[in-house]
Structure 1
């Protein structure tokens, strides 16, 4: 209760504590505009809680996905989220519910077309 040893950590498959890192570059199947990407992200976040897990954890994951790395780490740690991938792709809450995030909510594709 309140001691620093009880905080959740970002843990990899090897059991070692890891920090959240910038996601690897990815490419969409077709070039995509900034507006299309924003729409895809909004649709994902709107529907994600319906696939299970707690809304509070989804909200924390969204905040972490949209934040700078140091703030994202703080958000994840504070929410008690267990991250198995340093890119936030696969996470669990303290009850064991699994949360999977697609690449498009974590970073921009290499073939993004900027809207004017």
Structure 2
């Protein structure tokens, strides 16, 4: 038996701090509504990839929150963060959870809707 936070600790005893994903580019320019549809589809099907629904729910809440709240969410849910950008996590039972970058941040080639051809 270990302490409650031992599973989240690295070898030096510190918890891995969450950070935003590095900038990324979608294969094609994408609108905000298309991005939101991709995210909704992912979260609707995520529990079918394995793992526990409550962990998927916690990961969604963390992905949609600011960094300090996201850190509190994953810590309280017992999520073990392998990649600080939340792309790879584990639960306390060892189940792996992989999150695509599109649920964590916006791509660099996001098309702002309603601007027509005036893209900057």
Fold equivalence (TM over 0.5)? yes
What is the deviation of 1:16? 5.4
CA 10–76 in structure 1, closer or farther in 2 if over 3 Å, else same: farther
Task: Give structure 1 stretches of 5+ with no counterpart.
Answer: none
Task: Give structure 2 stretches of 5+ with no counterpart.
Answer: 115-120
- The match for 1:112 is 110
- The match for 1:86 is 84
Q: Matches of 1:85 and 1:105 in 2, distance apart?
A: 15
Please report the TM-score for the alignment, with normalisation by the length of structure 1: 0.89
Larger Rg: 2
Q: Deviations over 1:68-88 (max 9, x none)?
A: 000000000000000000000
Q: Matches of 2:33 and 2:10 in 1, distance apart?
A: 34
69-78 or 15-24: bigger deviation: 15-24
Q: Matches of 1:83 and 1:89 in 2, distance apart?
A: 9
- The match for 2:28 is 30
Q: Matches of 1:112 and 1:62 in 2, distance apart?
A: 21
